Structure 1
């Protein structure tokens, strides 16, 4: 047993390869089957299999980008990247066979692709398709004239978009209602977990559900002229669950479960939101006796009242992060600052250097199907998609697994009409496996790309070996040039962001108990803090999948992330208790807590290692902030930076 443990791979290596537990989107599976097999059937019927393969290749890009739930967002998630993909394949086609000119053009395209990827999710996919299609256009002899390839690829993306929008007339608004209802159900699970060890995990689910719901509702609201009554009502219902979320930490501090009737009421509200009903009976709740119980009771009754409203006040609804009217301005400013940031330039230069080296290599050395090297670099070197190291490992293993399937298909299935049912099966695996992780997605995409490549080049089983060799070369370039030679500062990547979150926690404490405390600003501060902590947690989870020293350092700092989240919960719980009858803390107590948090943030910014530091926090044991003092003391003791 001991010998097997020695031979087992390290946890940081296998953590990124475990299948994720996520539901399969069966509608996306059906769309992928139709969108990628139908063009092949039409191509064979018209005796133009190359055209059918190009349309299917464009549909593949649409299938990968079809990740939104709301119908309006699907237009942007699919159509905008397709436009960039058309630009990319046009540029690639124009420099096909031009040697060093192609190297220069693709390097410049990689720089632009990398820089725009930092703006947001749609921009990231757009930058990906811009570079991918440019590489394909520069590496494959596509049909002439130059406009045919972008037209056919774009047509494939439009097929996916058309299929995705088929249900809009019948299901318009359903994704938004489902997202808000999902937030209510996450809150119900949180209340059911109060007083148990499962509470922290459920809190993470609530943060993610609220982030998704606000983003979805506000993204649609900013695109509607005027104030859409349906969206105003959804936003009011989403805001109404916030007091319930704020009461949950106080309920958790009691150390015992809440009555089952309380989460049951929240689940009933979730069903009403999802179904658009307003005929709800009065909530049957136990009689409250303590400040915490009164907080939970008041929050639930308020949420029930709002859910039953058919026409909430449109001018008394904000997003708990700022007015929606200012959202477009903030988005433009965020995009401009992201595009011109140091991180944007750094990633763009990394990607450009790797693509330049990949293209220069194939210009100097004869490599079969050389464009696969640059394709691999593009897929792997996407920091916003996850750890570069773990993605390189996952892509290598996923490619190997996909090649086994591809070898069987290319060797045993005759080219022609048999490709249509085979494509239906292989295409269905892409959205199904994408939910499981990057290695699984790569394993599903590899045989599809090889089948389409064979229709374009007619090399059959001869594609297998070059595909494996080129993928390994691309992974090596991404690991060596894009990862090992660019040692990012721990502070730049994670430390500064965590320090900013600790500062935000200090500001939240000030707003919760200081003189300048304002209820609306306090709620916004809490939402921003939890959203920031969610982003920090995601970054740490990526770092945990990397080899030492990054992975080991992330593991050492991980307790501090959890401690800051618990500090935010303790602050919320204390504020809720004060709002419902508990005496407020003394100003000196608040000042001492804020001072310790500021000191912790400063230490994080100036340190690489962690040591124990004793916090000098004393006060009345019966004070409402005593649990908060304990959490701050624990944070300073278990994970304080070394001077």
Structure 2
């Protein structure tokens, strides 16, 4: 993609407005917290203290809207307290010498950039704290005042946390939505399988449901029963649906058996949708009787035999469990403690994990390290340029830069366009209101709260929309302290443009392109899928000694690798660089083939033998061949070579080493050939 097309693409992305579900009550609660601290500050402490507390409450509320499974009060407290510390330390250093403050700003910004290694929530909160600190350090005039302002900022975060505790809105709502979305996605998958027996399934909803189900020990004791076991059941339903529908291991492509399979899939979709609705709203399960009648029909045994019949019976049993678990008040799951892998660490226990994640990014090729260096240089340069230009409020330039910049190209450029456009519109609207209404201190504070409330409501519709509200909010907030619009608006527009241009220039000069790393991402996915397939085959080789936890762990790793690949492809699609050895067509073809390979391994997982089943001869050899060939293929992909599958081919091809015999459970033979076909398609895609 050329630079011109890339700029056009990112500009359109930045200005895009999403249709999303709004949360007006949550936004109203956040706005109420902001109104409380502003009103208290204006009534008892003055406009400057009110502005400080407003910044604390404002950023704390923003933190609670991030996509995190941490308790919302914890996010509000973490944001408010860290901003208070940043403000106080920043004033102590900056009040004595500008050079020292610049050094502190560099250290603070570099640390904030590295915190993206811990996840987007930590990165966003840390970046926001750096940006707001640039403003709040200018408000106090003495050390005592700085301590007071820091206390007010912390109080703003405490108020938001208290409101969340005192006025909870839809408890466990995010977790309910995540689990319901996973069940609804599987319901849609079941219905699509009726018409396309090998259709693709995006595991993202299941992964998000797993993240939502990872809780702290305290949360585990309070979690509703219906949120405990349904996710695990949904994970087990998906491979059964696929194996029932696929003609290679299920019913024939046409005939009475296929008609019955379509009826079973339709009934499964109905059951899963009913469970999703019950979990989302906390209501009793309402299930049409015909769906259960189809699943329980004795005619199924007359129409299906072998592996399809086993899949149908297993599907009916799993759906029974889903319905029982999803029923509010059923009590299912309360006596079962979550395993260690599903326990979320406390904030104190999280510190060493964050440090390890940051340490892992300290190498020259790391996009996180490059982002930290970029944002540090740009923020410091913007601070110097902002104060050198003949404007007041020079902090607007570095503030804009640090809020715009992200570790990848597309988001940085899209946010730069969106922020400047939103700033223009927001300050124009706010200026017009000021010119017409001439608001005083209290009315300015009220208008600031209104703008913040609109921002909270519309935050997830698009960055440009939220910036319109934020820009108007800042105009009214500063006007609350007696600062005229003509003293801030021209400065802010000009310096926001400077900050955006610096951010865009920095990424062009010191990029972290995803395109050259596509081969590594693909290699990681091939190796992860190979380990998953080998774990499944190993279960056939030694059913008595096999552990399903090993298969589960390998599956989760394969899903993570797939999501990393998909995210990398999406980011690379908007970059103005050449493919460097992996064209878009080759990436799409290879991705489809690796996905098919993983799907075939999943079909095998759907029919794992129990511990009493005799070992399948040759399964151990095939597991080792798959593991060895995929590891060698990953190395070949990284070295720009076409992978070969000699070990697998020798075992699966006609005339090769015998793998199957009469104890074959019915799906291993067909799935083994499908594994090889998918691997061959990977090679064909990379050879093109």
1:209 pairs with 205, 211, 235, which one? 205
Distance in structure 1 (CA, Å) of the matches to 2:434 and 2:103: 35
TM-score (norm 1): 0.83
- 1:310 and 2:331 are equivalent in the alignment: yes
How far is 1:522 from its partner? 0.7
CA shift in 2, pair 1:82/1:211, >3 Å: farther
Q: Which aligned pairs between 1:288-303 and structure 2 lie closer than 5 A?
A: 288=300, 289=304, 290=308, 291-303=310-322
Q: What is residue 508 of structure 1 aligned with on the other side?
A: 532
How far is 1:502 from its partner? 2.0
Q: What is residue 161 of structure 2 aligned with on the other side?
A: 161
Contact 2:416 2:503 in 1 (8 A): yes
How far is 1:302 from its partner? 3.8
SS in 1 for 2:206: helix
SS in 1 for 2:162: helix
Q: What is residue 603 of structure 1 aligned with on the other side?
A: 636
- 1:387 and 2:396 are equivalent in the alignment: no
Q: What is residue 483 of structure 2 aligned with on the other side?
A: 458
Say which is worse superposed, 536-545 or 148-157, in terms of deviation. Answer: 536-545
Q: What is residue 58 of structure 1 aligned with on the other side?
A: 56
How far is 1:394 from its partner? 2.8
Q: Can you list the C-alpha shifts for 1:148-189, whole angstroms capped at 9, x where unaligned? A: 222222222233223322334x85555544543343233222
Q: Which aligned pairs between 1:555-634 and structure 2 lie closer than 5 A?
A: 555-556=584-585, 557-577=587-607, 587=619, 593-594=626-627, 596-607=629-640, 619=653, 623-634=670-681
- 1:284 and 2:293 are equivalent in the alignment: yes
Distance in structure 2 (CA, Å) of the matches to 1:385 and 1:489: 7
How far is 1:561 from its partner? 3.7
Contact 1:380 1:475 in 2 (8 A): yes
CA shift in 2, pair 1:503/1:491, >3 Å: farther
- 1:419 and 2:418 are equivalent in the alignment: no
1:243 pairs with 236, 243, 254, which one? 236
SS in 2 for 1:147: helix
Contact 2:516 2:579 in 1 (8 A): no
Distance in structure 1 (CA, Å) of the matches to 2:116 and 2:104: 18
CA shift in 2, pair 1:615/1:390, >3 Å: farther
Q: Which aligned pairs between 1:125-524 and structure 2 lie closer than 5 A?
A: 125-140=124-139, 145-168=145-168, 172-173=171-172, 175-195=174-194, 203-204=201-202, 207-220=203-216, 222-223=217-218, 228=221, 230=223, 234-251=227-244, 253-254=246-247, 257=262, 259-274=265-280, 275=282, 283-286=292-295, 287=297, 288=300, 289=304, 290=308, 291-307=310-326, 310-312=331-333, 314=335, 318=339, 322=341, 324=343, 331=350, 334-341=353-360, 342=362, 343=366, 345-383=369-407, 387-416=411-440, 417-456=442-481, 458-481=483-506, 483-488=507-512, 490=514, 494-514=518-538, 515=541, 518-524=547-553
Q: Which aligned pairs between 1:84-99 and structure 2 lie closer than 5 A?
A: 84-94=82-92, 95-96=94-95, 98-99=97-98
Contact 1:543 1:554 in 2 (8 A): no
How far is 1:86 from its partner? 0.6
Distance in structure 2 (CA, Å) of the matches to 1:327 and 1:62: 19
CA shift in 2, pair 1:217/1:159, >3 Å: same
CA shift in 2, pair 1:311/1:9, >3 Å: closer
- 1:528 and 2:557 are equivalent in the alignment: yes
TM-score (norm 2): 0.78
CA shift in 2, pair 1:230/1:378, >3 Å: closer
How far is 1:572 from its partner? 0.6
Contact 2:379 2:398 in 1 (8 A): yes
Contact 2:111 2:372 in 1 (8 A): yes
Distance in structure 1 (CA, Å) of the matches to 2:159 and 2:73: 12
CA shift in 2, pair 1:613/1:208, >3 Å: closer
Say which is worse superposed, 611-620 or 185-194, in terms of deviation. Answer: 611-620
Distance in structure 1 (CA, Å) of the matches to 2:386 and 2:463: 27
How far is 1:326 from its partner? 8.6
Contact 1:578 1:584 in 2 (8 A): no
Say which is worse superposed, 309-318 or 157-166, in terms of deviation. Answer: 309-318
Contact 2:64 2:76 in 1 (8 A): yes
Say which is worse superposed, 625-634 or 432-441, in terms of deviation. Answer: 625-634
Say which is worse superposed, 470-479 or 61-70, in terms of deviation. Answer: 61-70
CA shift in 2, pair 1:619/1:442, >3 Å: farther
How many residue pairs match? The answer is: 623
Q: What is residue 3 of structure 1 aligned with on the other side?
A: none
Distance in structure 1 (CA, Å) of the matches to 2:69 and 2:346: 20
SS in 2 for 1:165: helix
Distance in structure 1 (CA, Å) of the matches to 2:199 and 2:16: 22
Contact 1:585 1:625 in 2 (8 A): no
CA shift in 2, pair 1:592/1:124, >3 Å: same
Distance in structure 1 (CA, Å) of the matches to 2:476 and 2:589: 47
Q: Can you list the C-alpha shifts for 1:270-311, whole angstroms capped at 9, x where unaligned? A: 344453759999943434422543443343234345556625
